[in-house]
Each structure stands twice: as C-alpha cells, then as structure tokens.
Amino acid sequence: MADSSGWDHSVDILVVGSGAGAMTTGIYAHDHGLSALLIEKTDQYGGSSAMSGGSLWVPNNHLMEASGVSDSREEALKYLKHITRGEVPDAKLETYVDVAPEMLKYLTDKTQLKLICMPKYADYYPESPGGKPGARSCEADHFDAKLLEDEFEKQRPPAPQELVMNRMSMTATEARTILTGAPGWISMTVKMMLRYWLDPSWRMRTTRDRTLSLGNALIAMLRRSMMDRDIPLWLNTPAKELIVENGAVVGILAERDGQPIRIKGERGVVLAAGGFESNAAMRKKYLPNPTEAGWTVANPGNTGEVINMGMELGAAVDLMDDAWWGPTTVVPDEDRARMLVVEKGLPGSVFVNKRGERFMNEAMPYNDICKAMYENHSEESPSVPCYMVFDATYRKKYPCGPMLPGAQQPDFFLPKKLTETRYLKKADNLDDLARQLGVDAENLKKTVAQMNEYAKTGKDPDFQRGESVFDQYYGDANVKPNSCLAPIETAPYYGIVVYAGDLGTKGGLRTDEAARVLKESGEAIPGLYAIGNCSASVMGRTYPGAGGTIAPAMTFGYIVARDLASAAIAEQKASA
C-alpha cells in the first residue's frame, strides 16, 4: 500500500471505473453537495456497461404500472430469496429491492436517463414464486450521439452482435422483432437503414450510428448528465495502489498519462472497475476449466486489479468461481466473442457435446447454458466447448452469430473469414457435418431424429424446451405447436463451435448492504467501497432477469453516494 503523504488531488468521493455504476455514484454525490472524480484506466469510458444490452432489472419500478404488470416488495423478495437459495444475506436483498426503484426514479427525474419498460421480457425464472412475465426489466431509449459532442469518440463502442451489419443500432425490443422475424420486422429494418444512411453529415464523421441504443445509449445518457454537472472523468488513469492511513483507505496511487499521481478520497474510495474476465491467469485460477479470456464478450480492460488490491488489504472475496455466463461464438478477426442470446432457442437447432448428445434446454437463460456445459463436462463426454447444429431452413430464416439470415445473406455472400477459416461448418449430410465438428456421427443422427419427433408433438420430455414463458420470448411465434422446436431435416446442415463465455465475472470483494468492503471477520474496511462486478454479486449464483448485472451496480453506487452525503450533512449540522 502507498504512503498517504503528499496529495496531488483531492475530492470527496473517488470512483475507480467509468461504467453505469460509477457514473451513478458521481452524479448523486454531486447533486448532494459532494465533489466526485471518476478515473478510468483505458482511453475509453463506459466499460462493460457500454458494451452491454443496457437493460436494468428493477422490481416494483415506477414504469411498471403503465405496462399493466403489477408488482410489490413482497413478491420481489419472494422471487429473489427463492432463486438465490439462501446464499445472499436477507439484508442485501431487502436493500436492493427497496432502493433500486428509488435509484431508478431519481435518475429518470433528475438526469438525461430515459427508459422504456419491457412488459414482454419475462424474468429469467417467471414460473418461480414471485416471478413475473415481464416489466421488471427496462432498457434505455434511443439517444442522439451528437449530444455528447467530442465525448462521443471517447465512449467504448458497442459489441458487434448489437449492431445490424456491424453499423446500425437497435434496442432490445427492436432486436427481438427483427431477429425472430416477428410481424413488422421488415418495415422496422427499412426504417433503421434509412435513418442510418440518410444522415450524410454524420456518415462523413464516422461509421458508428448516431442513434445510440442498448448499453451505448445508457452510458451516453449518464455521461451527458455528468457533462451537465461538470463532473470530471479522467481517462488513461489506472489505479495502482490503495493508500491507507490509520487502517482506513484514504486515497489511490494512480498513474495519469504515464505519471504517478496521488488522489485523496476525503470521504471514500469506490471501486467500480469490473471483474477479471479478461485476465487469463485469474480465469484459470478461479473459474471452472477449461476457460479462455477470448470467450468473454466483456470489456477488455476488466483484468481484476482492484479485486487484488482489496485482497492485499485483507478483504474477503466471494463467488470467484462464478460468472454472468452465456454461450459465445468466437468469430475470426474479431477481438471480442459474440454471445448467442437469440440464436440458441430458435426452432430448428440443437446443442450437442463431443459425443453428439444433447444435454440441456437450449432456450433456457443463457447463464444456465454454460452452467450445464460445465456440469456435464468430463473426459469421457466433453461439453466445453459444445456444438450448435442447424439446417438449411434455420439458416434461411434466422441470424446466427455474425451471419444474417440466409434470405438476406446467402452462403455465397458470407465473408471469406467465415468460410475459408471453417468457422461455419457445412455439409450435405449429418455424417459429414459430424466429421467436420469432430463429434460422434451415430449419436448426432440419433439426437437430430429425436428432436424431429419432439418438433412434431411440440413436447420436449427430456429438457422441456419451449415450455417456460422465458423460452418463448425468443422463439418463433409462427412455428407450431412449439415456438422453440422445429425439424432439423433440410440439407445442407450447418454447425458452429459454442464456448462457455460470459458477460463478466461475478465474484469479487465481499460487501455489506452499504457496499462497504468487508474482511473475513465481517468487519468493514473504513473508507473502501465496491460495486458492480469487482464485488461479489447481490444476485448470488443466479441471474434474475435482463439487467440483473447493471442495475445492482447503479443501486449500490447510489447507496454509497447517498450515505456519504448524509454523513456530510450530519457533520455540518453538528458543527453548526
């Protein structure tokens, strides 16, 4: 730890990171009389929040009433306590349920944040006690990038999978309509393309879409709100060491533009710098193996340094072997993997292991897909990675990874990087496809034949694919009797490799309901707070719904700023 003498800069709250949680902390602190500074180690702000779907899972939020879905504190707690299985202290769950709606209302009232309720996007376990068929998740509305002025170029770009033709942005609601071919998808796509191309001045500036969506819109709204308040954000400023004085964290030794700088956090230091998903060594040490940093879709800057800084002070950690899992595909020449969110549950596809056998419900929440991959992985029956198999009908109708539906992008129009590298396996029969994938051919044929029978009846007796309301969200409503099941019978047949990827790691510093970092004894480390993926998740080993990652980061950042501001006010009154 660094010496506490000789400060170069001082603020009330020093925040390490620049994602949605970090920005929320800074905004609320500023609004309540405290100075705040955000430091970001890379040359782009926004972190994994900017690359994400930008959804927020907030039960009993103020937008739900208009959507026609009712909710209550009691139902939300029943749901969270059920799915977290007693692994998260009740105090943390209760704090989240109570404060998250308050945080959301504050930001939508006081900042540039504009959200859209998602009444049809179900909780990930809607049939569980307290679960809901939709509306607890909300997403950022479109945002005009021009309002960011020169700060737009400094924002971390969206993940490739979030863009149409690697250019045009869409909300999650629009994505579902387009990617599943729901009614109105053609007109929606045409409008999107016209909006993009009929903007000549912006096209001369950049290929990126001026109309921001998803995580880029969320971060843009919060960044614009920071700009409105003149809250400083320093890029290229990695934190190097925590500075401790009399047992309390009082600041950070950082490096700004290559030079050491000592920054004091008069009232607290908030770690909000993400997890360790891009650190290959930490992945291999803590996560289930096999694992690779190249399988994550998250921010390449998330390499776990702040978690290690806390551990050096004696902080406890939890959930280090867990992540916000999701099946990913690694596309040649792309620096980040792509998550298979929509593709996995669309009808006419199946996931198999090395033995050519099916071992899960492919339409279930993406977090559970990778858990099933690891749970079923063995030397005799490898399932990490596994393989996605589909036929010509699926290829024609639906997108898959970097490929548009074949109706819009036939095989002869696919980039050479997908065909010449054998990223996409293609064969006239299942025997040849099995050979290319390296899976057992006889078992693969049996699996496909079984799926074809299930498609006829609409019932999957093995894994109940398509029975949950959540499964059906990304199904094809035009396919009967089960929107997630269709025959795999039309040549040519296709296959891609599927990895156990993630949106970020879930484990980190143990915190209490006030986001204070704790030692193994349960004692708080004075002056040190952690939010987001550098802290052990309030959601435990589960994933409640879309936005179950970002909303807690914002909520606990809000709590830290609220508590520190309240303490400052109390001190002022006491000294008056």
Q: CB under 8 Å to 369, separation ≥6 — which residues? A: 325, 326, 327, 344, 351, 360, 362
Return the closest-CA partner of residue 399 out of 457, 314, 331. Answer: 331
Grouping H, G, I as helix, E, B as strand and the rest as coil, residue 152 is: helix
Grouping H, G, I as helix, E, B as strand and the rest as coil, residue 488 is: coil
Handedness of CA 202, 207, 213, 216 (dihedral sign): negative
Q: What is the pLDDT of residue 172?
A: 87
Q: Distance between CA 29 and CA 227 in Å, rounded?
A: 14
Instruction: Give the pLDDT band of residue 166 (cuts 50, 70, 90).
Output: confident
Return the closest-CA partner of residue 321 out of 357, 294, 350, 285. Answer: 285
Q: What are 371-381's pLDDT values in tens digits?
A: 999 999 999 99
Over 90: is that where the pLDDT of 440 sits? yes
Q: Distance between CA 483 and CA 345 in Å, rounded?
A: 9
> Phi/psi class of residue 22: alpha, beta or left (left: φ > 0; alpha: ψ in -120 to 50)?
alpha
Evaluate whether the domain defined by 328-502 bears CATH number 3.30.390.30.
no
Percent with pLDDT over 90 in the chain: 90
Q: CB under 8 Å to 405, separation ≥6 — which residues? A: 181, 395, 396, 397, 398, 399
Q: Distance between CA 338 and CA 231 in Å, rounded?
A: 33
Q: What is the pLDDT of residue 165?
A: 79
Q: What are 474-518's pLDDT values in tens digits?
A: 999 999 999 999 999 999 999 999 999 999 999 999 999 999 999
Q: Distance between CA 352 and CA 387 in Å, rounded?
A: 5
Judge contact between 312 and 444, C-beta under 8 A: no
Q: What are 382-405's pLDDT values in tens digits?
A: 999 999 999 999 999 999 999 999
Q: Distance between CA 505 and CA 485 in Å, rounded?
A: 32
The total number of residues shown for the chain amounts to 576
Cβ neighbours of 153 (radius 10 Å) = 13
Name residue, tokens 């308040």. Answer: 229
Angstrom distances, CA of residue 236 to CA of 7, 233, 301, 530, 548: 19, 10, 11, 21, 29
Q: What are 13-59's pLDDT values in tens digits?
A: 999 999 999 999 999 999 999 999 999 999 999 999 999 999 999 99
Average pLDDT over residues 75-82: 98
Q: What are 214-244's pLDDT values in tens digits?
A: 999 999 999 999 999 999 999 999 999 999 9
Judge contact between 226 and 110, C-beta under 8 A: no
Q: CB under 8 Å to 368, separation ≥6 — which residues? A: 325, 360
Domain spanning 235-325+503-575: CATH superfamily: FAD/NAD(P)-binding domain (3.50.50.60)
183-187, 203-207, 350-354 — which is least confidently predicted? 183-187
Q: What is the pLDDT of residue 185?
A: 84
Over 90: is that where the pLDDT of 245 sits? yes
Domains 57-229 and 235-325+503-575 share a fold: yes
Handedness of CA 158, 159, 164, 166 (dihedral sign): positive
Q: What is the pLDDT of residue 221?
A: 98
Return the closest-CA partner of residue 149 out of 205, 81, 199. Answer: 205
Q: Distance between CA 510 and CA 512 in Å, rounded?
A: 7
Rounded to the nearest 10 degrees, the angle between the axes of helix 20-31 and helix 550-575 is 20
Return the closest-CA partner of residue 34 out of 490, 576, 459, 566. Answer: 566
DSSP 341-400: SSGGGSSSEEEE-TTS---S-TTS-HHHHHHHHHHT--SSS--SSEEEEEEHHHHHHS-B
Instruction: Give the pLDDT band of residue 5 (cuts 50, 70, 90).
Output: low
Domain chopping of the chain, boundaries: 57-229, 235-325+503-575, 328-502
The CATH code of domain 57-229 reads: 3.50.50.60
Q: Distance between CA 443 and CA 429 in Å, rounded?
A: 14
Q: What is the pLDDT of residue 2?
A: 54
Average pLDDT over residues 440-453: 98
Average pLDDT over residues 115-128: 96
Over 80: is that where the pLDDT of 3 sits? no
Q: Distance between CA 34 and CA 267 in Å, rounded?
A: 9
φ/ψ of residue 132, rounded to 5: -125, 150
Q: CB under 8 Å to 132, separation ≥6 — which residues? A: 59, 69, 71, 75, 79, 122, 123, 126
Q: CB under 8 Å to 243, separation ≥6 — which residues? A: 1, 2, 3, 4, 249, 250, 251, 252, 253, 262, 264
φ/ψ of residue 144, rounded to 5: -80, 115
